[in-house]
Amino acid sequence: MEARKRSFDPRTWPVRWRLAAASAGLTLAILLVFAAVIGHLATQRVRNDFNRDMHEAAAKLASRYDVKAYTGGVIPEGPPLDAFALPNGAVVRIFDPGGHVRAATQNAPHLGLPKPGVIHVADLRVVSAPIVTRGAVVGYVQYARSAEHVDSTIERLWLFIALGVIGGVLLASLAGLTIASRAMQPIASLTATAREIASTRDTTRQMPQPQADDEVGELAQTLEQMLRSLDAARTEREGAMQKQREFVADASHEMRTPLTSVIANLELLQASLSQPLGSEEREIVDSALRSSKRMSRLVADLLLLARADAGRISERSDCDLSEIVIDAASEIAPVAGDRSLEVANGAPVPIQGNRDELHRMVINLLDNAVRYTADDGTIEIRATVDDGAAHIEVADDGPGIPAEMREDVFERFVRGSGPADTAKGGGTGLGLAIARAVAESHGGQVSADASPLGGALISVSLPAGKTEQAVTPSLETL
């Protein structure tokens, strides 16, 4: 109800509608005043002309008559009343000075005694004129006529005036809307360009410049200056972000060497502690080694993401996605425990890409499925190709991914609230983010959905490419 009320609020109308409505309202007010004055004057003129005609007709009839005395009164003397051509059913009665009717047209109604001026009797207008002989009034002529045609003329007059007002308002509305639309056309052009810039985020576009140097032209210049400022700020921000990405990538790369050395030294130290030592010393070494390996994995993840952000394209070569899936499944099988890991491997899936990054992507997908699948659960992975696209699908029978999180799970450091998310050492939240980064760097995409097994289904689509490698079709359970 509130939305409907707002829709009838003129303040919510487009500017062109409000301008047209203002033009129509002003025209309506002017035409109403004009129509009232003209209609009143015309009506008065028509009635006055009718009354004047009535008086002239009665006076003309009176001039044709005289009366003479006779025993018992007077009688009219003149042509018979039926000899006159009376218009529109007019009737005439002739009175003597005493007010007695001495002659009348056929079917003349009772009109009362002669009175001055115009009187109304039923639907007739009645006037009286004296009969004067030698300066004395010797009788009266009463002339009556229907005013129906006058009233009809007045009604038609007001109808024409009303139609003129309505037509004038409609024309004013159309003219106002046309003028307002043409006046708002430069603003509409600015709005369309601004909307396109907002959708494409291309701040290098130029705003259309109106020909007239008016308020709209000033607005266009202001928007153009704003765009140039935004474009400069965006260029500066992108430059700073690019430097930051390159720094992270370089720093991550530089951190790998000392971490590798630390891990190697800790492994040597762990191996040298073959003699029984205090549990405290061995726990310190084991803990340091675990932390170093975890830090090494995190640095490797950050390096991969930083290189993707910096737009650094790794070396690409022909490889078989089916073979990569088998290798990754073989690597993840030892940590899968009692879970059933099924690899549906069909025909070779040729692809042009970086084998190490694709291997890392598949490892992350399988590791994610293992984390969220029960110990006796099932995980399926398959690699297929159709219509020039390579596909990887990893399905499990775990709790699945809520619909509201299926887009967010590919963001960095996003983790859920389940046991696998909150457990100590449960991951960094970068696995699926790395999978998406690898897929997008190879021109593909990744998505999450519900799997036929009842859990989560992670799908990756990549452009297929040529390869000379071949994998024997098989169905393995690892």
CATH 1.10.287.130 fits 216-307, yes or no: yes
Question: In what side-by-side order are the strands of the sheet with 136-146?
Answer: 101-104, 91-95, 136-146, 124-133, 119-121
Q: What are phi and psi of 180, to 5 degrees?
A: -65, -40
- Give the percent of the chain with pLDDT over 90: 5
Q: What is the mean pLDDT of residues 290-311?
A: 69
Q: How confident is the model at residue 85, as a pLDDT?
A: 57
* Average pLDDT of the chain to the nearest whole number: 77
Q: How confident is the model at residue 33, as a pLDDT?
A: 92
How do residues 146-184 score in pLDDT, each as one tens digit? 888 888 888 999 999 999 889 888 888 888 888 877 777
pLDDT-derived band at 115 (thresholds 50, 70, 90) equals confident
Q: How many CB atoms lie within 10 A of CB 69?
A: 10
How do residues 306-344 score in pLDDT, each as one tens digit? 666 666 666 788 888 888 888 888 888 888 888 888 888
How do residues 43-59 score in pLDDT, each as one tens digit? 889 888 888 888 888 88
* 381 has a pLDDT exceeding 50: yes
Chain centroid to Cα 166, Å, comes to 33
Q: What is the mean pLDDT of residues 230-247?
A: 74
d(CA 388, CA 444) in angstroms, rounded, equals 12
- Give the percent of the chain with pLDDT over 70: 74
Q: What is the mean pLDDT of residues 31-38?
A: 90
Domain ranges for the chain, please list them. 15-152, 216-307, 316-477
Higher confidence at residue 394 or residue 257? 394
DSSP string, 174-212: HHHHHHHHHHHHHHHHHHHHHHHHHHHT-TTPPPP--SS
Q: How confident is the model at residue 249, as a pLDDT?
A: 61
Within this chain, domains 216-307 and 316-477 share the same CATH topology? no
Q: How confident is the model at residue 3, as a pLDDT?
A: 45
Which superfamily does 316-477 belong to? Histidine kinase-like ATPase, C-terminal domain (3.30.565.10)
